[in-house]
């Protein structure tokens, strides 16, 4: 890596400086940190100084931020990376933070997925859980394995409870209302065959 130019520095409150490098990185440093790596406008950082910046300064800061985020709520690796990236940390610092929290098991996608399934399976379908875990960055192979091992909910019972909660009455429900309920349950991830089966069962029971 050739020397990196410090394009600008901007004084902020409480003795902080916003520094912009020609790599595209913008970061906030304390005056003592700025002096440590000679990060003044127009100067150049050596490779060693840049390593100190991204690992010793920003890497440690990113690790503390990661710990704080995980203390507030459990997260997947994907979502934690996303939050750190939004905070402006460079990739190298994010890797340091992720490596630390994984090494000490503060971050564990398998644990997260198992807890998520355990806590949500009584109110969400298997398909819905799969979609939500995938959106949180869990690998499909891991999702499939954990659902196979952990998912024990009765989806027909869930459908029945949701229909009851929505006030489904087969004797008074119009075809339009029935279709709305059907689409609602499909969006929740339930199988079409299960939805129709439960609706028929409720209709038969109401005729008795």
User: 166-194, pLDDT tens digit by residue?
Assistant: 888 877 888 888 888 889 888 888 888 88
Question: Quick one: pLDDT band at residue 36, thresholds 50, 70, 90?
Answer: very high
Q: How far apart are CA 29 and CA 10, in angstroms?
A: 10
Q: How far apart are CA 134 and CA 147, in angstroms?
A: 12
Are 19 and 39 in contact by the 8 Å Cβ rule? The answer is: yes
pLDDT of residue 203: 75
Instruction: Return all residues near 1 (Cβ < 8 A) that are at least 6 apart.
Output: 47, 50
Could you list the beta-strand ranges (E) of 46-112: none
> Residue 6's beta-bridge partner residues?
21
First to last CA, the chain: 80
Per-residue pLDDT at 163 exceeds 90: no
Residue 10 per-residue DSSP state: E
Structure tokens at 82: 């996303």
pTM: 0.78
Could you list the beta-strand ranges (E) of the chain: 4-11, 16-21, 26-30, 44-45
- With vertex at residue 123, the alpha carbon angle to CA 122 and CA 124, rounded to the nearest 5 degrees, is 105
> What's the mean pLDDT in 25-49?
94
Look at the alpha carbons of 23, 27, 31, 32 in this order and tell me if their dihedral is positive or negative. Answer: negative
Question: Quick one: pLDDT band at residue 110, thresholds 50, 70, 90?
Answer: very high
Say what the alpha-carbon torsion angle 134, 137, 139, 144 is, to the nearest 10 degrees: -30
Are 173 and 206 in contact by the 8 Å Cβ rule? The answer is: no
Say what the alpha-carbon torsion angle 64, 65, 68, 72 is, to the nearest 10 degrees: -160
List C-alpha distances in Å: 27 to 7, 8, 19, 93, 175.
12, 11, 5, 12, 59
Residue 80 per-residue DSSP state: H
């Amino acid at each position: 890596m050739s020397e990196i130019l410090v394009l600008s520095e901007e004084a902020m409150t409480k003795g902080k400086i916003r520094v912009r490098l020609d790599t595209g990185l913008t970061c906030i440093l304390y005056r003592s940190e700025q002096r440590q790596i000679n990060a003044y406008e127009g100067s150049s950082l050596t490779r060693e100084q840049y390593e100190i910046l991204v690992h010793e300064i920003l890497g440690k800061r990113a690790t503390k931020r990661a710990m704080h985020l995980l203390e507030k709520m459990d997260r997947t690796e994907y979502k934690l990376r996303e939050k750190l990236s939004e905070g402006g940390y460079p990739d190298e610092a994010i890797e340091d933070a992720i490596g630390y929290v994984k090494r000490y098991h503060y971050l564990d996608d398998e644990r997260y997925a198992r807890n998520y399934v355990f806590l949500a399976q009584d109110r969400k379908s298997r398909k819905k859980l799969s979609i939500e875990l995938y959106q949180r960055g869990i690998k499909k192979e891991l999702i499939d394995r954990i659902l196979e091992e952990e998912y024990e909910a009765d989806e027909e019972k869930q459908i029945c409870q949701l229909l009851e909660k929505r006030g489904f009455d087969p004797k008074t429900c119009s075809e339009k209302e029935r279709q709305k309920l059907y689409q609602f349950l499909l969006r929740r991830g339930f199988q079409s065959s299960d939805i129709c089966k439960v609706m028929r069962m409720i209709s038969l029971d109401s005729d008795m």
